[in-house]
Amino acid sequence: MEQYSFLAGVYDSLNSDFDYEGYADYIDSEIRKYEKIRSSLVLDLACGTGKITFALRDRGYDMTGVDLSEDMLSVARDICYENDITDILWLCQSMQSFELYGTVDACVCCLDSLNYLTSYEDIKKCFSLVHNYLIPDGVFIFDMNTPYKFENTYGNNAYVLEDESSLVAWQNEYNKKTGICKFYLNIFVENQDGTYTRYDEVQREKCYSLQRIKRALSDCGFEIIRICGDTNGKELTDSDERCYFTVRCLK
């Protein structure tokens, strides 16, 4: 599994139009709607720079953020330092082999992070660990990119993302047989003298069918509460780019 390195420093600015607050409202609503015991301890798995972690903290949750990328966590820790935030635990660990100090009441995994696990065995390892650390009836909320997105939006298409001081040229290479999409990223970051430094990264995501994810959840001890096509709770269709899961830990 790849981890963000050079991209970490420009990740937030390039995704500044994403509605993190709206997503956090959705998560908060799902937890409150489906929890059986009031949730306070929440794990943000593959938390990145902590945008969702901070937003859930602001909604009253005691947060732990886990991410594989030291660079992404460094950005999160800098935000904590700048804002005098001392009550979030950050752990640099992978989704399929993380260790916590105790159980949590709920877990979230956002922005297609699970698609970065490129083997079905790793998906099941991750689900098993989440099940292990969740309290009985604890809620697990996550999203994944759909086959439609892999085939139509990713495909072999190219994109350019830019802000005032950085640019990312993004070329996709999707193999429908293996389900693997490679993202070739050329990152250009502006220096103080007006020149640009180029960095290159390759990321990979795996396409999983809805049936395989349902089977993995069942095998790992989860009950599916609902699957939606957006954060407003609409029914999932074949043309949705992302599917949103709310599941419960059975013990």
Q: Which domain holds residue 154?
A: 149-206
Predicted pLDDT of residue 133: 98
Please tell me whether residues 101 and 222 are part of one structural domain.
Answer: yes
pLDDT of residue 4: 59
- Look up the pTM and report it: 0.94
Q: At 132, which CATH number?
A: 3.40.50.150
21 and 141, same domain (yes or no): yes
Asked, for residue 29, whether it belongs to a domain, the answer is yes
CATH number at residue 192: 2.20.25.110
Same domain, 36 and 104: yes
The answer to whether residue 1 sits within a structural domain is no
SS3 153: helix
**Domain match, 110 and 168 both:** no
Per-residue pLDDT of the chain (251 residues; tens, 9 = 90+): 555 556 666 666 566 678 999 999 999 999 999 999 888 999 999 999 999 999 999 999 999 999 999 988 999 999 999 999 999 999 999 999 999 999 999 999 999 999 999 999 999 999 999 999 999 999 999 999 999 999 999 999 999 888 888 888 989 999 999 999 999 989 898 889 989 989 898 999 999 999 999 999 999 999 999 999 999 999 999 999 999 999 999 99
pLDDT at 106: 98
Place of tokens 């947060």: 63
Report the pLDDT value the prediction gives residue 80, as an integer from 0 to 100: 96
Cα 222-223-226 angle, rounded to 5 deg: 125
Cα angle for residues 233, 46, 52 (degrees, 5° grid):
55
Can you give the pLDDT at residue 213?
98
Residues composing the chain: 251
The pLDDT score that the predictor gives to residue 111 is: 94
Same domain, 192 and 107: no
Query: Are residues 159 and 218 both part of a single domain?
Result: no
Question: Which residues does 184 contact at the CB level (< 8 Å), separation at least 6?
Answer: 170, 171, 172, 173, 200, 202
Please name which of 53, 56, 67 lies closest in space to residue 8, comparing C-alpha atoms: 67
